[in-house]
Amino acid sequence: MPYYYVGRLEKEKGVDKLLEALLLLKNSKVKCLIVGDFLNKTKYGKYWDNIRKMLIKLQGRVFLTGYVPNSDLVNFYAISNFTVIPSQWEEAFGLVALEAMKMKKAVIASDSGGLLEVLSPQGSIRCKKG
């Protein structure tokens, strides 16, 4: 059961919240595919250290692709069961949510900014930020 996250690995995007949730799930069959990279690791030194510690604990359950061109994202959506958007800031629009819905993938997202307007209640779960 692969989760899918696409975006920058920065504090505002909430990747730490996604990894914390995975740590709570004891089911080792749950996998997470993270598509994206940090733009500036030095800006997020302590945050990045925390991410690395969680990734070590989740070894074999989380897979990082690094940067992927937009034209190749469809391949990653295709192999996922659902998309997670754990944003901790006010998302301006929520393009990832639209892409996931276009691929008929369920979405789990924070109740953040434009995501509230983009997400369909029939195919999404909205969670409180933080």
What is the C-alpha separation between 19 and 118, in angstroms, rounded?
Answer: 24
Q: Name the token pair of 58.
A: 């989740």
The answer, yes or no, to whether residue 99 has pLDDT greater than 70, is yes
The answer, yes or no, to whether residue 1 has pLDDT greater than 60, is no
Residue bearing the bigger pLDDT, 74 or 2: 74
Residue bearing the bigger pLDDT, 127 or 79: 79
The answer, yes or no, to whether residue 2 has pLDDT greater than 80, is no
Nearest to 11 by CA among 62, 121, 87: 87
What are 35-81's pLDDT values in tens digits? 988 666 666 678 888 998 999 999 999 999 988 999 999 999 999 99
pTM of the model: 0.86
What are 6-45's pLDDT values in tens digits? 888 888 899 999 999 999 988 778 899 999 886 666 666 7
What is the C-alpha separation between 36 and 38, in angstroms, rounded?
Answer: 7
Looking at residue 15, what is its pLDDT? 92
The answer, yes or no, to whether residue 121 has pLDDT greater than 80, is no
Phi first, then psi: what are they for 12, rounded to 5°?
-65, -25
